[in-house]
A = this chain, B = another copy of it.
């Protein structure tokens, strides 16, 4: 299978590296608007084709499937182009910040019978997957309460935040997808509130840096997400599902199992600080899942619909914070 990667930023490069690790899969073509960077990458991965223009990559007959890892605002056109060119496509999250575009992407993919796979990498983390499986198997009985804590070590640059669509579409969107994934049911209503506690500048561009979101699922189960843009101890990714037969939880991943004990007590290892450390393995598993979908023509593990639902939850959270009231999902659907 010949893969093409569009956009060799931080994430695109990870996918490229992971492609090199897989057998029977070739990193055949890459594309990046930054010509020098493209050259460097072409050498590093020693690929046959390097295109400044992503559409040339998409049109390349030899390319079987494309990974779209460029900036969010370019996703829609590129994914649509891939679909029209009958190329299976993996698209980084979020599909787009504009619902109409997402609908178009889904339609085109369907019409052209290509796989549209959305890059919600956390679903492929072994820990979260175990929780999903346990909930599915009924290990905890009927789920009643979901708790997600998701905190970043550092806020992104202010210029990134300005175009990010806000914390709910940029950061919480991962947690919205995780909530649907783990609970295996849809959200009916969203309430959210937020504050600017870390950096006034974030407030000045109209965003918040600390939030709490409450989810009401169709079954009546309740969910809570708390986010912060800055956790001094590093990447904080915890989850708990509480149900009629018990609770199941995922703790953070530590650097080591070393514990030092002195008169002040025990000191455990620090957390993996950065999401690329934390989800290194998950990114590879994600790629394998995409390749598996393409090769065996399986429905994608994370579909366009999944991408759309996460976006809608982001819309609802945004509206809820603006209007200071719970918002039902229908209110933000087209």
Contacts and interface: CB of A to CB of B under 8 A. Distances in A.
Contacts of A325: 324-326
A193 B195 contact: no
Interface stretch (A97-105, A159-167, A231-239): A231-239
Copies in the complex: 4
A191 B191 CA distance: 9
A249 B151 CA distance: 16
A279 to B, nearest CB: 13
Interface in A251-308: 251-271
10 contacts: A130-B258, A144-B228, A145-B228, A151-B242, A210-B222, A231-B242, A248-B260, A249-B258, A253-B257, A265-B267
A134 to B, nearest CB: 7
A149 interface: yes
Interface in A207-251: 210-212, 214, 216, 219-224, 226, 228, 230-234, 236, 242, 244-251
A175 B130 CA distance: 31
A256 B127 contact: yes
A194 to B, nearest CB: 8
Given A145-B226, A222-B195, A324-B325, A270 B263 contact: yes
Interface of A: 126-127, 130-131, 134, 139-142, 144-145, 147, 149, 151, 191, 193-198, 210-212, 214, 216, 219-224, 226, 228, 230-234, 236, 242, 244-271, 324-326
A179 to B, nearest CB: 13
Contacts of A210: 144-145, 220-222
Contacts of A247: 231, 233, 236, 260-261
A139 B262 CA distance: 10
Nearest to A226: B145
Given A263-B270, A267-B264, A256 B224 contact: no
Contact of A233 (B131, B144, B149, B262): B262
Contact of A196 (B220, B236, B260, B324): B220
A238 B172 CA distance: 24
A230 to B, nearest CB: 8
A127 B211 CA distance: 27
Contact of A191 (B145, B214, B250): B214
Given A247-B233, A271-B265, A149 B151 contact: no
